[in-house]
Amino acid sequence: MAKRIPAAERIVRARALIQQARDLPVPAEGRGDFSYIAQVKDLLRQARDLVKFIPQSASTTEAMREEVKNIYQEIEQANREILH
């Protein structure tokens, strides 16, 4: 059985994935390279998947819910900055 990851650790990992997406080197073909776009979108999807069920947990505090909202905003901002 898979080990359960605490919500705080999920948030840390999600931010690390967002940073990984930002740090990906832009290929010589430019930002329109399909492989590059797929890698960025995959990293951002993984970050989103890590935190998407945190707000629905009964033990989640309001501060943790705010952190999840901030993560979603960071994901959208990173998507705009990297791909547009």
Give per-residue pLDDT as tens, 16-61: 999 999 999 999 988 889 999 999 999 999 999 999 999 998 889 9
Which candidate, 21, 66, 23, places its Cα nearest to that of 47? 21
What string of H, E and C letters represents the secondary structure of 12-75?
HHHHHHHHHHHHCCCCCCCCCCHHHHHHHHHHHHHHHHHHCCHHHCCCCCHHHHHHHHHHHHHH
Residue 79 lies in a domain: yes
Residue 1 lies in a domain: no
Domain with 65, as residue range(s), is 7-83
Residue 2 lies in a domain: no
- pTM, entire model: 0.92
pLDDT at position 58? 87
pLDDT at position 3? 83
* Count of CA atoms in the C-beta half-sphere (13 A) of 18: 23
What is the total count of domains within the chain? Answer: 1
